[in-house]
Structure 1
Amino acid sequence: MTSQIGSLIGISLLIACAGCAGIGSTDPVTDEEARERALSAEKARVTQTLENASYITSSSVSTYGEPDAVVVNDNNSGVNVRVNMPYSYEYSCDGGSSGAVDGLETTVVYQVTNSNVTTMIIKGDIRNACA
């Protein structure tokens, strides 16, 4: 009986200390990692949107300007990063007009955690020259 009580106490202490020692926990994402992951997510989002737009004949992302990522909030929920992503494209509209737009920029806030990069706010999105 005494050995069973001792085993139960040992297991209880192990479980109680697991959280203290960080067993099973994950390290928070660093600000630098959050900025890099948010930049990558926004570049992929803008590239995909431009590639899927039927009126766009060619495009470039972050070629004619430097993308920018700034940590705007760092808390227990994750790191919020504001990303500005420059882009340009050439277009040909159904009505016959065509041309190019250069020097445009998206502004998006992402929340970055160890496991996810989530779009929180889109302040400035991709402009449609044919609309």
Structure 2
Amino acid sequence: MKNILFLFLFPVLFFSCFNDSDSTGDSPDGFLKKEGICSDTDLNWLEEMIADYSAQTFTKQEFFYFSKALYNNEVVIIQGNCCPSCNSIMPVYDCYGDLLGNIGSNPGDITPEVMENQQLIWPDNSTCFN
């Protein structure tokens, strides 16, 4: 039951506690465009999310990551984790920050099998991609 509560409250609590005035950290301005993610798209929303993760320390942080993949021939951003003891939702966003759905096996979810060429965006040394 605690895992389910964590699953739903974590994103709300985590992202409501940040000051958006500083978007430094592991994702300096322009970093994502240099990496070829979503060319010609404003990725400030993603840079802010990564900066928020970079600035915090929380239990099992080493299991959380951001990656890019192809979904229906479009680049998407996955906010994921490979935490062995977490019951988590992994949202999938388009290049504009719009939520497309969640990775899962329930009706309406995006199945992981349809994601192509998944590549790590952040952090550089993710436990999930080693």
Asked if TM exceeds 0.5, the reply is no
- TM-score (norm: length of structure 1): 0.28
**TM-score normalised per structure 2:** 0.28
Give the number of the structure whose alpha-carbon radius of gyration is greater. 1
